[in-house]
Structure 1
Amino acid sequence: MKNRQATTNDYETIINLWNRSVSKTHDFLSFKDKEDIKKEIPMYFPHLDVRLWFVENELIGFSGTNHQHLEMLFLEPAEIGKGYGKQIIQQLIRDFNVRSVDVNKDNENAKMFYLNNGFTIVSEDPTDSSGRPYPIVHLRLK
């Protein structure tokens, strides 16, 4: 699996992928909150190491890290469940020293994904970082 750092030219592609992925995996988000978050995400990109992930030159997902913290990891919906997420998280741990991640508590599949990949729950907040009513689970690599 290959990756490359994203540029500002990739932002629209990333947001479109994010939208498809979140539509498939985040059914707990209200439409308004999803649209608000979609507008906010590009503001984070300049502060993150955003990577595009490819299999045979086909974009399958993206990640965003801030030092040792994984801020975001999203896959094309058709690629979920094929083992690509595991390959990406293992490479992020190995090559980018990722040691922590936050997950929506209501996203059971994502929570289990990180638990199955060596993370453990260390704490929980009742709202997301913007104060929205979506509890967040904080995980750290064991």
Structure 2
Amino acid sequence: MPQSNTDVIIRACGGDEEYAALVDIWRSAVRATHDFLDEADFARIESRLASDYFPAVHLTIAEKDGKPVGFAGVLDGALEMLFVSDSARGQGVGSALLAEVVTRQAVSEVDVNEQNRGAHGFYVSKGFVQVGRSELDGDGRPYPIIHMELPNNA
């Protein structure tokens, strides 16, 4: 059943026919927030979103005015991805998505690019604490990762 937070509707992904819209959201969000990402890495990640990354997670979509504006991907209690279209940033979309996946999918951990200070601050403001750090990302690239968790009493 879709959940609403003011004018944001949160719902499950309807299938791979929605992937193109999610790639557009990812592209908009990453262009606005990941200025540290090398162009070749951007292209490599973008090319694998629909084929590899989206099918590997449970996708939740945020809509405004009937149009997807954000999404979250969860696997085994870990938030693997949360992206909001640049045009919808700062409007509560990310907060609504995070609240949904924490409540309904038992999300308790997230990894954040260290260079993405905005995302790090967002998760800290939602109660996540740093529990570790890796010098390289999951693909062995030089993008340090901050490992975060929600404390047990959160």
Q: Which bracket does the TM-score occupy, shorter chain normalised? A: over 0.9
Structure 1 pair 46/73, CA: closer, same or farther in 2 (3 Å)? same
Contact 1:2 1:55 in 2 (8 A): no
Residue in structure 1 matched with residue 73 of structure 2 by the alignment = 64
- Residue 149 of structure 2 is aligned to residue 112 of structure 1: no
Q: Provide runs of 4+ in structure 1 moved above 2 Å.
A: none
In 1: Cα distance, 2:74 partner to 2:60 partner: 8
**How many angstroms does 1:81 deviate by?**
1.1
1:129 to 116, 119, 138: 138
**How many angstroms does 1:79 deviate by?**
1.0
Residue in structure 1 matched with residue 109 of structure 2 by the alignment = 100
Residue in structure 2 matched with residue 52 of structure 1 by the alignment = 61
Point out where structure 2 has 5 or more consecutive residues left out of the alignment: 1-8
Residue in structure 2 matched with residue 7 of structure 1 by the alignment = 15
**What amino acid is the match of 1:20?**
S
**How many angstroms does 1:37 deviate by?**
1.1
1:38 to 46, 52, 77: 46
**Alignment RMSD:** 1.2
**How many angstroms does 1:120 deviate by?**
0.4
Number of aligned positions between the proteins: 142
**What amino acid is the match of 1:67?**
D
Contact 1:24 1:77 in 2 (8 A): yes
- Residue 94 of structure 2 is aligned to residue 85 of structure 1: yes
In 1: Cα distance, 2:62 partner to 2:35 partner: 24
Contact 2:10 2:97 in 1 (8 A): no
Point out where structure 1 has 5 or more consecutive residues left out of the alignment: none
**What amino acid is the match of 2:113?**
N
Residue in structure 1 matched with residue 3 of structure 2 by the alignment = none
In 2: Cα distance, 1:11 partner to 1:82 partner: 23
**How many angstroms does 1:92 deviate by?**
1.1
Contact 2:28 2:86 in 1 (8 A): yes
TM-score, structure 1 as length reference: 0.94
**What amino acid is the match of 2:90?**
G
Secondary structure of the residue aligned to 2:74 is strand
